[in-house]
Structure 1
């Protein structure tokens, strides 16, 4: 299988070359030429597999035999050895219509660990086997940065720089990133919001001379391996919910807290492969560009709002372009026209049959801060289960769209200890995991800079050359 760009101007690439490219050289996102179809017989066989074996089965469909099976097994085993639950992503039943997929059992207590622990091992493998220089550059709204740093810190042949919006991530998210003082890690705290950080990253990756000179590699979900790794837990969650239901043959929905569209696109991919998900539900917060798109067909960034769920405080969703590609029947020319409209400051509009198709494929709800706090209190009182604010968005959407004869698996994308600022508003005292409690006493290492591409470039050139401009 080869990979092509959503904008149609990149020669087909193999799997490893696609991962190393990250953002397509034409500014598009890389997708497989064909999505593999999984038969009912294969789904039946996969139902009994543990998470790691299921990962290998799904990954092998996309990797073109470029990674020997024994090497792939070692990468998967190393990636998930640090997870605190043997199932990696266990499913808990909260009531007859709601199941929770816990994605926070990795080292940084967030769903990003599932993909980024593997990605760190994968980049290290490629560096060793192909002699590639790996300089990772990424932006984060909070969780990606910590997970990416944890995945590659101390690894030989790899350097990583992460941009995060200054003062707009939770304190635990900030500490998880900035208490790391390894020589191969640089944290840049940018005055601005996540969209500002993401814009700078995309501009640097679009500068092909700069990208090639400094061997830039992507860690954000613009990189297809992130999407693929996340696809695995959709299959796993579906199978586990099905197993827990027993003879109860209800349809299974999934509700996914989503800011950058990467996580929900992984579910879209799983469904196109043949996983019989009933409803794909997008849960957002008050930065609800995705809800507005599904409801009205208009995709246009709105006013940025700071919320209790900061990882979804995003107005420009990078992976939306991948969905648009399939919505437009894989017409790269049409995708390019739409994306140019967005780049020119105009909005994307789909209507008529296209909008009907969107609404048949996706459901969406933007939950308010008040709704989230109410749900956290409600489920704590009724079930004893503590939701984090992002997970509460997912549960709000679950309650809105789950109908008779359906159950919904709602994704718990982070441990509530990462967002204690919101939890404390409800006078709930939670016990912190030891790994998080210990962060408070550690020194921080970060460089606070203006929202300025030239300054980011200066920092990167010094870092990749073997030093750091300044750390404070």
Structure 2
């Protein structure tokens, strides 16, 4: 597969070039020139595979000759060594052999090493980039902005990789206590992963990454590479779990439409879902849940895109007023508002509504959601009231609720046990540097 810049289709790259360059010349986002389409017979075969094997098959169409089939299978089997359960709110898991099946599921994407859905993309990207850099004998500085979970996933994926330095920028006061502790304790004191607390918002972090790449001298001096979702190597792997899980649901619910609800900020997760649908995944529609940072939901109402400064909320990973992947969604759907609005339905919710819903679901079922998942589930409930037909509801759960223990425990008035990785992180000493949100400050820090 070849890729083009969304700003200039004549600017081309293969996967390796697009992955390592992060952005196209002029700041464009890399987009696939075309996507494969799988027939019903082909998808049935892919659905019968374990997830990692299905991912390897799908990835074959996205990469280039730098990765042979054996290496790709090994990469995916190593990257995806954790489960992807789809559960009911009562705790039952999807099983195609069940005699009684539910019509609603929570797709738990937080069972990877950093307990967030970002592990899927970061682990594939990390292993791909490491293989390429070894073969080329290169070194890289990976500059990544995070609103909470991306930095942890990227840091874990690239930890102790030779020739790689990871610099994580996060907004000061803009992540949960658990997230901050996780970000600031990756590796040992001489770790190749470094945390930087930026005196600003996530949008400031994201803009600073873009500015660093736009500064040719700085970018070349440090051989910069992005691990944010501006990098196509982050977006492509996010299509894998939509493709595979939708096939599992189809097998249990033949002939019934499938709708995914995605709590959204930078829109990378939604982009991955749209890619999967365009490749033949049996997905009918996408529901988009925003917090009060809702430029995409506003766009779905009237076709006008109005980015804005972000404001802090309970669901902090979605506090993004200028979503990077909005141009990708337009590119995938031919810049046609009708196509976007027919495929995507959106709603936004306040912190008060999110808290009330999280508490209600816990009191009613015992299921504990993180704030982001609660926003996605709220959106699904709102969508369900807006349509008059049966369909399978799948809410994407993006992070383990323990990552937001300080908020969730207060809301449900119940102590949450920390999984081992988080419990260990909470006992370690933080290593972090505070910086002003300027290119000069970042340049001085990078050295």
Fold shared by both chains (TM-score > 0.5) = yes
User: 2:364 matched to 1:369?
Assistant: no
Q: Distance in 2 between matches of 1:240 and 1:327?
A: 26
- Aligned partner of 1:144 in structure 2 is 150
User: 2:256 matched to 1:250?
Assistant: yes
- Aligned partner of 1:407 in structure 2 is 392
Kindly provide the CA deviation profile for residues 201-254 of structure 1, in whole angstroms up to 9, marking residues without a partner as x.
011112234322321111001111111111000012212222343x6x321001
1:10: Cα distance to partner?
5.8
- Aligned partner of 1:420 in structure 2 is 405
Write the mapping of 1:322-341 to structure 2, written as runs, cut at 5 A.
322-328=328-334
Kindly provide the CA deviation profile for residues 152-189 of structure 1, in whole angstroms up to 9, marking residues without a partner as x.
11111111111100111001111111013343122111
Contact between 1:10 and 1:24, CA under 8 Å: does it hold in 2? no
Q: Distance in 2 between matches of 1:303 and 1:163?
A: 18
User: 2:424 matched to 1:438?
Assistant: yes
Write the mapping of 1:287-298 to structure 2, written as runs, cut at 5 A.
287-298=293-304
SS at match of 1:431: coil
- Aligned partner of 1:40 in structure 2 is 40
- Aligned partner of 1:153 in structure 2 is 159
Mind listing any 5+ residue stretches in structure 2 that lack a counterpart?
91-101
- Aligned partner of 1:202 in structure 2 is 210
Mark the CA change 1:411 to 1:3 in structure 2 (over 3 Å): closer, same or farther: same
1:366: Cα distance to partner?
0.9
- Aligned partner of 1:384 in structure 2 is 366
Q: Distance in 1 between matches of 2:219 and 2:139?
A: 12
Contact between 1:237 and 1:409, CA under 8 Å: does it hold in 2? no
Contact between 2:110 and 2:398, CA under 8 Å: does it hold in 1? yes
- Aligned partner of 1:358 in structure 2 is 340
Given candidates 178, 182, 188, the residue that maps to 1:176 is 182
- Aligned partner of 2:269 in structure 1 is 263
- Aligned partner of 2:105 in structure 1 is 99
Contact between 2:182 and 2:426, CA under 8 Å: does it hold in 1? no
1:265: Cα distance to partner?
0.6
Q: TM-score, normalised by structure 1?
A: 0.88
Contact between 1:91 and 1:241, CA under 8 Å: does it hold in 2? no
Mind listing any 5+ residue stretches in structure 1 that lack a counterpart?
330-353, 463-472
Q: Distance in 1 between matches of 2:345 and 2:257?
A: 15
Contact between 1:10 and 1:26, CA under 8 Å: does it hold in 2? no
Q: Distance in 1 between matches of 2:54 and 2:328?
A: 24
SS at match of 2:87: strand
- Aligned partner of 1:19 in structure 2 is 19
SS at match of 2:12: coil
User: 2:51 matched to 1:51?
Assistant: yes
SS at match of 1:176: helix
Contact between 1:91 and 1:240, CA under 8 Å: does it hold in 2? no
Q: Distance in 2 between matches of 1:257 and 1:182?
A: 36
Mark the CA change 1:76 to 1:210 in structure 2 (over 3 Å): closer, same or farther: same
Write the mapping of 1:178-257 to structure 2, written as runs, cut at 5 A.
178-180=184-186, 181-245=189-253, 249-257=255-263
Q: Distance in 1 between matches of 2:434 and 2:108?
A: 33
Q: Distance in 2 between matches of 1:113 and 1:382?
A: 30
- Aligned partner of 1:335 in structure 2 is none
- Aligned partner of 2:85 in structure 1 is 90
Length, aligned pairs only: 430
Contact between 1:89 and 1:101, CA under 8 Å: does it hold in 2? yes
SS at match of 2:13: coil
- Aligned partner of 1:465 in structure 2 is none
Q: CA RMSD in A?
A: 1.6
- Aligned partner of 1:72 in structure 2 is 72
1:374: Cα distance to partner?
1.9
Q: Distance in 1 between matches of 2:398 and 2:199?
A: 26
Contact between 2:116 and 2:149, CA under 8 Å: does it hold in 1? yes
Q: Distance in 2 between matches of 1:451 and 1:134?
A: 22
Q: Distance in 2 between matches of 1:14 and 1:304?
A: 34
Contact between 1:149 and 1:160, CA under 8 Å: does it hold in 2? yes
- Aligned partner of 2:380 in structure 1 is 398
1:314: Cα distance to partner?
0.6
Q: TM-score, normalised by structure 2?
A: 0.92
Contact between 2:247 and 2:281, CA under 8 Å: does it hold in 1? no
Q: Distance in 1 between matches of 2:383 and 2:196?
A: 40
1:320: Cα distance to partner?
0.6
